[in-house]
Amino acid sequence: MEYVVDQRLLVRKRHLPIAEMGIFAGHFADPCRIPVCGRTIARDGKRRYVSHGERLIMPELPEVETVRRGLAPVMEGSRFAHVVARRGDLRWPLPKDFAKRLEGHTVTGLGRRAKYLLADLSSGDVLLMHLGMSGSFRVTHPHGVASPGAYYHERSQAAAHDHVVFEMSNGALIAFNDPRRFGSMKLVRRTELGEEPLLRALGPEPLGNAFDAAMLARACHGKKTSLKAALSDQRVVAGLGNIYVCEALHRALLSPKRTASTIATRTGAPNERAKHLVEAIRAVLADAIKAGGSSLRDHKQTNGELGLFQHNFRVYDREGEHCPTPKCSGIIKRIVQTGRSTFFCPVCQR
């Protein structure tokens, strides 16, 4: 019996250019770029093409948390019995002696930092994993054992892009499938994790205790950028992406075009806007995680039904539709900010 934790490439032939994928989750310092649809994708010197009308969406915090919750039951407390790396690189080269450094060691915990998965190992290493745009984990359990988590989604057994396979001591096979190879895996010593370049510049977790109105106001104090741009900056708050920034701003009734500094007083203290915005961010992320994240294609609940968080979008991808805010007469509008599509209501979002 096969299940999948699947937040792969999400494509919907509607409205948006591929240009909105201009910034990768985690702000990778990497020459990989995703330009306007129909043009090339440059990756490691190779030229790739995306058809007109297709839109690529990077998994955001709720999708990665969904993956973590699905993998935890088969990884935590289990040992890497055998590891197969079918190629030497994903987005970057895999670590030297990758398989040897994993085999024989137990996963003591599976966490998440922003859009990264972190598997703590008994060796003192941490396996740092990123899904990229098309990465997914497929779990195969022997003898038809029940699904190990509520967030696994049935998928075909096509394995052409299974680049890394973990055979766990509990019998589970975990395959990392990534057609576009924008995902990554890296081994970091736990004692050096605070200095890891991929993590050290990240802001606080939006669902953590450190994230509150005072913190957000301080981060935005004096910023002349738009509020949308500030919230999309991983240094301000970690894990937020285009979808949930748009949705949170609508819930808080704040315009994405508003100057970021206007959520703080002259001294940097939070005002009511900051308080409402923090509440909205927490609420929209909690709702999305409860729904198993958002996807626009090939993502089903365990009972086979659709109806995940994308069906609860208030503004994202709703250009031209009526605003769902009670008694609001506005029509959802789409604009482009810093190369990304922004959806908002010009009437109730001020």
- What pTM was computed for the model? 0.80
The catalytic position among 60, 167, 196, 247 is: 60
Is 115 assigned a catalytic role? yes
Mean pLDDT calculated for residue range 259-266 = 98
Residue corresponding to tokens 């104090």: 221
Band the pLDDT of 309: cuts 50, 70, 90.
low
Return d(Cα 154, Cα 231) in angstroms, integer: 34
Q: Strand, coil or helix: what is 244?
A: helix
- Which of 63, 64, 74, 79 is closest to 122 using CA atoms? 79
Q: What is the pLDDT of residues 83-123, one digit of tens each?
A: 999 999 999 999 999 999 999 999 999 999 999 999 999 99
The catalytic position among 8, 59, 228, 273 is: 59
Q: Strand, coil or helix: what is 265?
A: coil
Q: Is the pLDDT assigned to residue 286 strictly greater than 60?
A: yes
Query: What pLDDT, on a 0 to 100 scale, did the predictor assign at position 38?
Result: 36
Q: Is the pLDDT assigned to residue 306 strictly greater than 80?
A: no
Q: What is the pLDDT of residues 216-246, one digit of tens each?
A: 999 999 999 999 999 999 999 999 999 999 9
Query: What pLDDT, on a 0 to 100 scale, did the predictor assign at position 144?
Result: 53
Rg (CA), the chain: 20
Q: Is the pLDDT assigned to residue 154 strictly greater than 70?
A: no
The pLDDT mean for the chain works out to 80
Query: What pLDDT, on a 0 to 100 scale, did the predictor assign at position 158?
Result: 57
Query: What pLDDT, on a 0 to 100 scale, did the predictor assign at position 206?
Result: 97
Look up residue 111 and give its amino acid. G
Return d(Cα 183, Cα 130) in angstroms, integer: 5
β-sheet bridge partners, residue 238: none
Band the pLDDT of 36: cuts 50, 70, 90.
very low
Band the pLDDT of 160: cuts 50, 70, 90.
confident
Secondary structure (DSSP) of 128-168? EEE-TTT-EEEEE-GGGPPPSSTT--------TTEEEEEEE
Task: Give the end-to-end CA distance of the chain in Å, rounded to a whole number.
Answer: 51
Percent of the chain with pLDDT over 90: 62
The catalytic position among 115, 186, 223, 318 is: 115
Q: Strand, coil or helix: what is 4?
A: strand
Return d(Cα 232, Cα 227) in angstroms, integer: 9
Return d(Cα 114, Cα 82) in angstroms, integer: 28
Q: Is the pLDDT assigned to residue 156 strictly greater than 90?
A: no
Is 59 assigned a catalytic role? yes
The catalytic position among 91, 155, 186, 340 is: 340
Q: Is the pLDDT assigned to residue 302 strictly greater than 70?
A: no
Is 205 assigned a catalytic role? no
Burial of 276: CB neighbours in 10 Å, binned 0-12, 13-18, 19+? middle
Do you know the residue count of the chain? 350
Query: What pLDDT, on a 0 to 100 scale, did the predictor assign at position 146?
Result: 40
Question: Per the structure block, which two tokens stand in for 262?
Answer: 């206007």
